[in-house]
Amino acid sequence: MIADSRGPALLARGVSVDNRRRRILDLPELAVEHGETLSVVGPNGAGKSTLLRVLGLLETPTRGELWFRGEPIPREHSRLLALRRRMAIVFQDPLLCRTSVSGNVGLGLKLRGVRRGERKRRVEEWLARFGIAHLAKRPAHRLSGGEAQRASLARAFVLQPEILLLDEPFAALDPPSRQALVGELQELLAETHATTVFVTHDRDEAFALGNRVAVLLEGAIAQIGSPEEVGRRPASEAVARFVGIETLLAGRILSTSPEATSIAVEALRLTAAARGRPDEQVWVCLRAEDVSLIADEGIQPPGAWNVIPGAVKGLAFWGTQVRVAVDCGVTVTALTTRLLVSGLGLRPGRPVRVAFSPHSLHVIPRVRGTS
């Protein structure tokens, strides 16, 4: 697809959706650029599916405008139908027809009047791309959940849509099927440069697939940016908690300089590579993977690092990884491995130091009235 220089592939401006006197979606502006994958992530009830239905022209917003490739989208039914045919939507439930797998994948092409030979070629290509060519003749109702979702994705990709909309397509899959399909979809989106909006409640999926990530909270975009920016530099306390920052500490800036900022957190004094104003109330954010654990007194981290003595408060095992909560006067969480836990002899009550770079701390102004 050739990018339209007149505007983004899809644009929502001043769009809101009201339901029974309650606003469930409020978008001053949201642009989806040509060839990008925009992940929209948020908790259940945040308005993600409503957003996707509005962008997919399946639901009319209460107010606002939608633009497609630089042109305003009319509300006449016949013209909306023509635009919908330039999009493809994959829902959480595959919604396959009671026919064969190949019949399902080729259905959209048949409705669009694609000739039989071309239809057969494209169906076979995408069945193979999604690893289900051997299931071509199987009735769709006899597929497993993962197979059915692969067929649903193939049915969307075979159309070569200008806009691809994905509504939590992995939510009902078991973890191995989900992980495999996310990896394959990541490769396909990078290869095809399909303009995609992907909504999910799963942070890992959103960050894995999105060129940009939009955090949707209570119907509004709380932050939008690259996965690195949103994941490591959240714009607010609410975003920080949602994207999984486990150490979120209330503090007060003591002093600041071009090189570093000193922050009081309870009885601790932390050094952050951040800016702020003296006496400003802030949240200090620290990701668990940025925390090192030191049990050997002979080991000294780099001189500029924050080093705090404490004791192991608890351990949470998840596969090969372990989250270690350390009581340092405040609780600091570190992410490590089972091997390191065993090697350090970590157990509740075990003395340990936590260490982290000033560059790993992200500082957010604290809104008055928050704890």
What's 245-365's CATH class? mainly beta
For the cut 80, the answer to whether the pLDDT of residue 298 exceeds it is no
**Confidence tier at 95 by pLDDT (50, 70, 90):** confident
**10-236: CATH number:** 3.40.50.300
**Confidence tier at 90 by pLDDT (50, 70, 90):** very high
Lowest-confidence range among 17-26, 150-159, 321-330? Answer: 17-26
Read off the pLDDT of each residue in 34-47 and give the average, rounded to a whole number: 95
For the cut 70, the answer to whether the pLDDT of residue 4 exceeds it is no
Read off the pLDDT of each residue in 265-287 and give the average, rounded to a whole number: 94
Structural domain boundaries of the chain? 10-236, 245-365
Q: Tell me the DSSP string of 104-127.
A: HHTHHHHHTT--HHHHHHHHHHHH
Digit-coded pLDDT (tens) for 175-212 = 888 999 999 999 999 999 999 999 999 999 999 999 99
First-to-last C-alpha distance (Å) of the chain: 50
For the cut 90, the answer to whether the pLDDT of residue 123 exceeds it is yes
For the cut 80, the answer to whether the pLDDT of residue 78 exceeds it is no
Digit-coded pLDDT (tens) for 128-152 = 999 999 999 999 999 999 999 999 9
Q: In the chain, what are the helix, strand and coil shares in percent, each to the nearest 5?
A: 30, 35, 35
The strand ranges marked E within the chain are 10-19, 22-32, 37-41, 63-68, 71-72, 87-90, 163-167, 196-200, 212-217, 220-225, 247-256, 261-265, 268-272, 281-286, 292-294, 306-318, 321-327, 331-337, 351-356, 362-365
pLDDT at 20: 82
pLDDT at 371: 52
For the cut 80, the answer to whether the pLDDT of residue 77 exceeds it is no
pLDDT at 272: 96
The rounded mean pLDDT for the chain is: 92
pLDDT at 369: 54
pLDDT at 2: 42
Contact 293, 284 (CB under 8 A): no
Residue 97 in tokens = 């027809």
* Percentage of residues of the chain with pLDDT beyond 70: 97
* Percentage of residues of the chain with pLDDT beyond 90: 83
For the cut 60, the answer to whether the pLDDT of residue 236 exceeds it is yes
Read off the pLDDT of each residue in 225-236 and give the average, rounded to a whole number: 96
Query: Within 10 Å of residue 41's Cβ, how many Cβ atoms?
Result: 25
Distance CA 218, CA 47 (A): 7
